[in-house]
Amino acid sequence: GLAPANAGVKTACPYCGVGCGIVATPRPDGAVDIGGDAEHPANFGRLCSKGSALGETLDLDDRLLVPEIDGQRASWDAALARVAETFSATIAAHGPDSVALYVSGQLLTEDYYVANKLMKGFVGSANIDTNSRLCMASSVAGHVRAFGSDTVPGAYEDLETADLVVLVGSNLAWCHPVLFQRLAAAKAGRGTRIVTIDPRATASSEASDLHLAVAPDSDVALFAGLLDHLEREGCADRAYIEAHTRDAEPALAAARACGLAGAAAATGIDEHRLAAFYRLWAGTPRVVTVYSQGVNQSVVGTDKVSAIINCHLFTGRIGRAGAGPFSVTGQPNAMGGREVGGLANMLAAHMSLADPGHRDLVQRFWRSPVIADRPGLKAVDMFRAVADGRIKALWIMSTNPADSLPKADAAVAALANCPFVVVSDIVRTDTTRHAHVLLPAAGWGEKSGTVTNSERRISRQRAFLAPPGEARADWRIICDVAARMGFAEAFAFASEAEVFREHAALSAHGNDGSRDFDIGGLADLGDAAYADLAPVQWPRARTTAAPEGPIRLFADGGFFTADRRARFVATPLAPARAADPRFPLILNTGRIRDQWHTMTRTGKSPRLMGHLAEPLCEIHPADAAAHAIATASLVQLESPHGTMLARALVTERQRRGSVFAAMHWTDQFAAKGRVDALVDDAVDPVSGQPGLKGSAVRIQPF
C-alpha cells in the first residue's frame, strides 16, 4: 500500500549510478516534495540538480495510460495475448533466436530478473540485451578478463580516503555529481589530489590539480606507459603479484614496447607532463582510478579497462581502503542488470553462459525446459538482425533506441521494417511510434523493487504514487506474457518481493565460494522485511540479512578465476585509424549536467531545461576559423550516417580536431538535434560496446 499524503517515503533516484537515497513526500494537492535521504550511505542527504528536480517530472503529460494494438486502444488481456501469441508463433516457425528483448538499465532488478529468465530459460535464446551495452559493457568485459567475474572491487568511501583520485573519461562533476561532491569535500578537507584525463576541459578538470587533455582513445597508451614507468621505478608489489596474479610478463612486454615515448606520441601530451603524472601515481599508494564512458564507449574500451587494472594489480593497489580501479556506471540499475545476467553474453547471478555446470545449475533451479547455451546478439548486432530480418519479433522495454543507438536512423529503419515490435514504456517516444503493441508501464514513484548502484549497494525503490490509468509494473507485464506463452508456473510471482527472493536464492544456489555475487542472506526476507530493506552492499549480504563484514574485494587475492588468481592482460597499441579527409573531425558525445538520456523525464523541468536550452557543438577556435564557424551560429554536423544541427560554442576547452555534442536532444526538443544519427556503429570486439565518442564528422555553417 501507498503511504498516506505527507508521509515521507524512502526511495532511490532513477537517474544515475551513484544511486542516491531520496525521501519523497506526496502532498495533498498532488505535488511531491523531494529531499535527500540523510541516512542513505551513497549521498547522506545530498542531491544534484536532476535528483532534486524530480518533483517537476511527475505530471501525466505524454504518459501512456492504456495498452494499444496497432494504434488503437486495447484491453490488457488482448494486448498481452497478442504479444504472447506472436512471440510463440514466431518461435515455432523460425526458432528461438528469431525473437529478442531489448531492455534497460532503468528496469528494476525484479523486472530484469523475470525478463532474463523468460528469454534464457524458457524461450531458450540469449537474445536479450540492454541499453547498458552502450554504457559499461567494456567494464564488464575488462573485469571478467582480469578477475574472472564482473566485480567492482571498491567502495565510494575510497574516493574520500584516497590521496590521489584519477578521473579517466569521466566528467564526474556533471555525470555523477553527488559522488563528485563527496570527492570535492575530501579534497577540501584533506588535500586529495585529483587528476582528470579527458580530451576536453570540463567542470571536473577545472577542479583538478592536473588535466591531461589526451587525444581521443589514447588511454591504452597512457596506462601502458604508466605500467612501464611503475616497473622501471621498482613499484611492483612482488608479493602480491606472485601470490595472486598471473600473466604479468606479456602485459609488461606490451608496456615496455609503448614506454613513455609511445604514450607521449599517442596521447599528444609532452613527456615531461606525462612523467609528472606517472611519478604522482607511482608515489601515491592510496590511488583510486575512476573511469566511466570515455573509457567504455570506445572500440578499444575493454583494453582501456585492462590497461588501468594492470597498473593496480602490479602495485597491489586494489581492494584496499583508498585504492583500486573503480568503474562508475551511468544508469541507476546497470549493476542490478548485471547481477541478474541481463546481457546477451551473461547467464544469471554472474554465472557464465559458456560454463555447462552453470547452465545446468540455473536450468535445474528454474526447472526450465531449455537453457540458452551460447551468447545472444548484443545491442548493435541485435538491431542489425532486426534490419536484415533475422529478428522477427522484438520487445523493447524502458528505452528509446530510435534516438540512442549509434546510426540511429538505421535503427529507425530497422524498427519500421520489423514484422512485430512491442514497446513497454511510460511515455511516447520516437521508438513507440513503431510499436505494433504498446504497453503502458509504471514509472518511478509508482513501481517498487530494488536497484544496485556503482558500489554494489542494493537499495529499494518504493512506490509513493498510484500508477496512472492502466499502467502496470514491468515485472508483472513480463510474467503475464510468460504465462500466456505456457510458462505460468515458473512466472507465478504474486509480488516483486517474491521475485527478489527467487533472485537472491539463485545467487546462492550451488555457490561453493567460486562466484562473487551471492546475496543468499536475503533469500528468506519476509514481505515486511523486504519492504523495509535498508541499503545493503554485497558481499555483505551473503549469509545474513543483517550483515557485517568487508565492503571490498581482492585486497588479499581470492579472485574468481579457476585458480583464484587475477590475470594481467597485454594491451598492445591498436594502429592509429586512417583519417578520412572528407570527415576530418572526431565527434565526442556525452551528457550535460541537467539532462538525462533522451530527455523524456528531465525535459519536463523548466529549471533543468534552463541550464543549456539547445544542442551545442563545442569546437576549438582554430577549427572554427578553418570552417568559417562563428560563435553562437548554427552549424550542421555531418557524418556518413546522418546530420544534426547545433549551436556553435567556440572554446579552447575543446581539443583541436575534436568536437563535442550532447547525447540528449531528440526532434521533440530541437529540430534535427539527434546526435546519434551521426554516430558510427563500430564496436569493441570483446565487449560489443559501440565507440560512441569516436565518429568521423565534418562541420559547416548552417
At closest approach, how far in Å is the CB of 496 from ligand SF4?
Answer: 21
Which candidate, 559, 147, 552, 568, places its Cα nearest to that of 319?
Answer: 552
- The answer to whether the bond into 539 is cis (omega within 30° of 0) is yes
At closest approach, how far in Å is the CB of 107 from ligand SF4?
Answer: 16
How many residues form the binding site for ligand SF4 (CB under 6 A)?
14
Q: Is residue 48 at the binding interface for ligand SF4, with CB under 6 A as the rule?
A: yes
Which H/E stretch holds residue 222?
helix 219-232
- The single residue among 9, 11, 19, 616 that binds ligand SF4, judged by CB under 6 A, is 19
Q: Provide the grid cell at 115.
A: 525478463
Distance CA 412, CA 186 (A): 46
Q: Which residues contact 643 (CB under 8 A, 6 or more apart)?
A: 636, 637, 672, 677, 678
- The single residue among 50, 117, 187, 693 that binds ligand SF4, judged by CB under 6 A, is 50
- The single residue among 11, 34, 37, 51 that binds ligand SF4, judged by CB under 6 A, is 51
| Ranges within 511-550 binding ligand SF4 (CB under 6 A) | none
For ligand SF4, the closer CB: 20 or 227: 20
Asked whether 536 and 458 are in contact (CB, 8 A), the reply is yes
| Ranges within 138-197 binding ligand SF4 (CB under 6 A) | 176-178
- The single residue among 9, 18, 311, 458 that binds ligand SF4, judged by CB under 6 A, is 18
Asked whether 677 and 612 are in contact (CB, 8 A), the reply is no
| Eight-class DSSP state of 120 | I
Please give the residue whose beta carbon sits closest to ligand SF4 in the complex.
51
Q: Is residue 15 at the binding interface for ligand SF4, with CB under 6 A as the rule?
A: yes
Applying CB under 6 A, which part among 10-18, 225-233, 393-401, 680-688 lies near ligand SF4?
A: 10-18
- The single residue among 23, 32, 47, 91 that binds ligand SF4, judged by CB under 6 A, is 47
Q: Is residue 290 at the binding interface for ligand SF4, with CB under 6 A as the rule?
A: no
Q: Is residue 597 at the binding interface for ligand SF4, with CB under 6 A as the rule?
A: no
At closest approach, how far in Å is the CB of 340 from ligand SF4?
Answer: 20
Applying CB under 6 A, which part among 46-54, 489-497, 614-622, 638-646 lies near ligand SF4?
A: 46-54
Which residues share a beta bridge with 664?
none
For ligand SF4, the closer CB: 56 or 303: 56
Q: What order of strands is seen across the sheet that includes strand 393-397?
A: 72-73, 68-69, 437-440, 420-425, 393-397, 99-103, 128-130
At closest approach, how far in Å is the CB of 47 from ligand SF4?
Answer: 4
Applying CB under 6 A, which part among 8-16, 209-217, 487-495, 668-676 lies near ligand SF4?
A: 8-16
| Ranges within 302-361 binding ligand SF4 (CB under 6 A) | none
Distance CA 539, CA 520 (A): 10
Q: Is residue 20 at the binding interface for ligand SF4, with CB under 6 A as the rule?
A: yes
Could you write out the three-class secondary structure of 56-93? Answer: HHCCCCCECCCCEECCEECCHHHHHHHHHHHHHHHHHH
For ligand SF4, the closer CB: 8 or 657: 8
For ligand SF4, the closer CB: 54 or 146: 54
Distance CA 485, CA 490 (A): 11
Find the length of the chain: 702
For ligand SF4, the closer CB: 523 or 536: 536
Applying CB under 6 A, which part among 13-21, 341-349, 433-441, 509-517 lies near ligand SF4?
A: 13-21
At 240 the three-state DSSP class reads: helix
Which candidate, 369, 308, 295, 379, places its Cα nearest to that of 337?
Answer: 379
Q: Provide the grid cell at 1.
A: 500500500
| Eight-class DSSP state of 12 | E
For ligand SF4, the closer CB: 22 or 675: 22
Q: Provide the grid cell at 529.
A: 522485511
At closest approach, how far in Å is the CB of 245 from ligand SF4?
Answer: 34
Q: Provide the grid cell at 238.
A: 612482488
- The single residue among 9, 10, 13, 125 that binds ligand SF4, judged by CB under 6 A, is 13
The dihedral built from the CA positions of residue 171, 174, 176 and 177, taken in this order, carries a sign that is positive
For 140, 198, 641, 687, the CA distances from 136, given in Å and listed in that order, are: 7, 17, 24, 9
Task: Provide the binding-site residues for ligand SF4, judged by CB under 6 A.
Answer: 13, 15-16, 18-20, 43, 47-48, 50-51, 176-178
